[in-house]
Copies of this chain bind each other. A is one copy, B any other.
Amino acid sequence: MTTDPDIDIVEGHLMIHSLTFGDVLRQNRRSHPRQTAVVSDTGERLTYPELDDRVNRLADVFRASGVSGGDRVVWLGQNSHRLLECVLAAAKCGAVVCPVNWQTEADELAFVIDDAEPGIVFWQSSELERKVAAVRERRDGGARWIQHDGAGADSYEGLLAGASAHDPEGYVDPNEPLLLMYTGAFDGRPNGALLSQTGIMLHGLVVANQTGINEEYVYLNCGPMYRMGVLWNTLATLHLGGTNVFVPRADPELICAAVERYRCMGALIMEPTLSAVIAFNEHAAYDLSSLRSRPGNAGWSAMTTPDPHHRPNSSSQYGQTEVTGLITTAAAGVAGLHGRPSPVAQLRLFGEDGREVAPGEIGEIAVRGPQIMTGYHRRPELNGRRQHDGWHWTNDLGRREADGSITFLGPRGRLIKSGIENIYPAEVEACLRRHPAVADAGVIGVPAADAGGQTLKAIVVVKPGMTTTPDELVRHGLEHLAGYKVPREVRFAPALPMKNAGIDYEALDREHGGGGYPGSRLFTTMTGI
């Protein structure tokens, strides 16, 4: 009994145990034949069989363009169902999709396109024509540029119309990358994390379990799809047979209209968009009651429905793009601020000496599991620093509490030495930021021979309209930290110097007399999902 003569025996044997997003789509066209998979930003509905046919045609375009296993495809556009189609076509071909941040400047976009070396760049004319022209001026190498929102034979829709909807169903290794997500310019340039199908799928199943994504779920893609924080929901919704609704960008009117019309249940809406949506809808012109929300914003709660999956007294979560998103899950009633490690990951904390630290002590967060990136694209040296000895090193500091839960403290950054004690500024800053009057805080070490190395100095930014005093902040520190971790000196400043979305410690040192740090590892990082 044969199903496809193209499948040879080795490939057939591998396929028996494999599962890719291509397979998920093949199954969903059968399991959910009438379900709406996609609502485009123009209101066009695609069922799962219709979506799968379009994805097959796009995969045919990929092949005709010479894009195959491991090759990159860049998406230089806003949110669109066509970006989801690109990801699914790549899943069927073994290609890798890189959705770039269209909001960044042309120079950085050109750098990313140069670094990704794509076989195809899908670009958008609407709202982005001038930026795309500026990028192409700098970088138009070997890639095929296809306009996704155009017409004509060479446009996305034109090419799909001329392609074959046949699905050859070849074997694709689910442990190979599907997404290339540029992130964290902590060494002065963005680096692209390669994320595997298996990792995205497992991460999505855990998220789906926690947030109730199932075949009845309707997800609004209004947050930026060049961030995993949106894409993991897009793909989990697809995986579980739900409906993805698309609007090109986080616009209050587009969001309100789509939520009301399609009864969307989930969406990533961050500030300042959240406040803009609340203000836009203050007279309840739109019915947003299908959206599930978590407590914290009275105005938002008033127009939405409490999320039945949210448990009171629930912790936050921790993650980074390099681990496909979240590596801890929210837990209720735990000591740690960031929940417990995901059931599909291992998480340990290691000290500067490479040994695992005891609960209550601070260490670098190291993780393991299928959702860890396969590596940064074209960064062998950096990969060696981030992945060795059986662990992925997050560059982030954390603490395991006595109940086994996790508190993320901040990027590892620098270490301050006071006597025999190691002090991580990130921990002290995190404590200061929890004071109600504090908007931000940076902590530096000041050379002090009498203290056996350095003493701590905090530079604090006070929230508008609030007041506090150095004494009050020292008392706050003594309440929550060991004595040696409490800054002896507190200075107020209108703002902190920033660099690469983190504190510019070198500038802070120069302005406030910092110095005397122990030798190594004086680099700053950031965590952005």
Contacts and interface: CB of A to CB of B under 8 A. Distances in A.
Contact of A404 (B7, B33, B346): B33
A405 B4 CA distance: 24
Interface stretch (A9-17, A119-127, A281-289): A9-17
Given A18-B368, A31-B340, A4 B389 contact: yes
Interface string A15-29: 111110001101100
Contacts of A389: 1-4, 7, 12
Contacts of A326: none
A463 to B, nearest CB: 35
A457 to B, nearest CB: 29
A432 to B, nearest CB: 28
Interface stretch (A152-160, A297-305, A348-356, A476-484): A348-356
B390 A15 contact: yes
A17 B208 CA distance: 21
A354 B1 contact: yes
Interface in A343-376: 343-348, 350, 354-356, 359, 366, 368-370, 372, 374
Given A18-B368, A18-B369, A239-B343, A1 B404 contact: no
Nearest to A34: B403
A400 B30 contact: yes
B3 A390 contact: yes
A517 interface: no
A3 B387 contact: no
Contacts of A403: 33-34
Nearest to A359: B33
A393 interface: yes
A343 B30 contact: no
A239 to B, nearest CB: 6
A344 B19 contact: yes
List the 5 shortest-distance A-B pairs measured between CB atoms, nearest first: A12-B390, A15-B390, A1-B354, A31-B404, A209-B209
Given A16-B392, A34-B403, 19 more contacts: A3-B390, A7-B389, A11-B390, A12-B388, A15-B390, A17-B175, A17-B368, A17-B369, A17-B370, A19-B369, A27-B346, A30-B348, A31-B340, A31-B341, A31-B405, A32-B404, A208-B209, A209-B209, A239-B343
28 contacts: A1-B393, A3-B354, A3-B366, A3-B390, A4-B389, A15-B368, A15-B390, A16-B372, A16-B390, A16-B391, A17-B196, A17-B369, A17-B374, A18-B368, A18-B369, A18-B370, A19-B345, A19-B368, A26-B346, A27-B346, A27-B347, A30-B348, A33-B402, A34-B403, A205-B206, A208-B209, A239-B343, A240-B343
